[in-house]
Amino acid sequence: MILKRIYNSLKLFKLLFRDNIKFIFSSAVLFGDYKNDDTLLSSITMDYHRIEKGLSLPNPREKFGYWFIPSLIERILYFKGKYGNHDVLNHAVGAINAYRSYHSKKDVLLSDLQFWFKKLDDSRILPKNIGIKKLNITTSSKKSFETLSLERSSVRNFLSKEVDIELINNAVEIAKRTPSVCNRQPWRVKFVAGEKVNPLLALQNGNKGFSECIRTLIVVTGKISYMRLPVERHQIYIDGGMFSMSLIYALQDLGISTCPLNWCVNTKNDKIASKELGLDGDEEIIMYIAVGYPKKKCSVASSPRLPNKLILKKI
């Protein structure tokens, strides 16, 4: 037994070392957004989506994102000059144009950005999409999965009422059919409502601008104790992520809108949230999911998807 523990410990440290080395040299953490075309596209996508999210909020703040737009345009122009045109660039320009249009309608001058807007206009990159769109959910009781998927969007403008726990219970009943490693089902769900919601939201930075309309929060966690081998070190996040998506679609099917909120936080916030939620020592937070009923005429981010040629490859 002792030899097995030593063997598994050494194997786990070797795997963790490999994970860290691969992340260090493959990500943009140390080498920045200009490391290669993939890291650059990712940073452009992240920032133009910030614009879309800002425009989809209940009350978009004037000049939101003012600080990163010059850098975004600079990266767009650099990418085109070095790698050529790309769908992501067209989507990014569409989001920037929607940002300009929003402020123009409100008679808000963007004087400091005019230099960058002119450079972007001179590049002649054609815009695609408009940054935001109206949420459109049909009332049919028999929807195909394709329809359910195409109609789903992250909503950031909920009605001011809590979602009944029975609806959440029904969604969990559907979502727990999600496959998991050896059917171990390591996921757990915390239902949070009332005065406990805001302290938890304060620990996560993806809900700014619409936290005041989140009355119900779901926290998906994973049980590390369900994992038995060093090679399963990522498995609660894989299984928990799959379960979270099933839960989101189940809620959508029950008429409840959602907004997934990533749990990329520092150790301090992770510990505070774990304490607030009363998590067991072996539990890890996978993600937050804001849930609620969307307001009428609700706007959502266009969030265009990459073409299949970049995703699907035959081996």
- pLDDT attached to residue 140: 67
CB 300 within 8 A of CB 130: no
3-class SS letters over 157-180: CECCCCCCHHHHHHHHHHHCCCCC
pLDDT at 142: 78
Query: What average pLDDT does the segment 191-202 reach?
Result: 96
Distance CA 240, CA 188 (A): 8
Give tens-digit pLDDT for 45-82: 999 999 999 999 999 999 999 999 999 999 999 999 99
* pLDDT band of 129, cuts 50, 70, 90: confident
Top-level class of domain 145-299: alpha beta
Give the number of residues written for the chain: 315
Which pLDDT band, with edges at 50, 70 and 90, does 115 fall under?
very high
Most distant CA atoms of the chain, gap in Å: 73
- The whole-model pTM stands at 0.93
> Would you say residue 137 has pLDDT above 90?
no
Domain boundaries, the chain: 37-133, 145-299
Q: Report how far apart, in Å, the C-alpha atoms of 70 and of each of 79, 137, 215, 279 are.
A: 14, 36, 35, 42
> How many beta carbons lie within 10 A of that of residue 233, not counting itself?
14
CB atoms within 10 A of CB 241: 17
Q: Confidence class of residue 99 from pLDDT cuts 50, 70 and 90? A: very high
Residue at token pair 């970049």 = 310
- What are the pLDDT digits (tens) for 207-248? 999 999 999 999 999 999 999 999 999 999 999 999 999 999
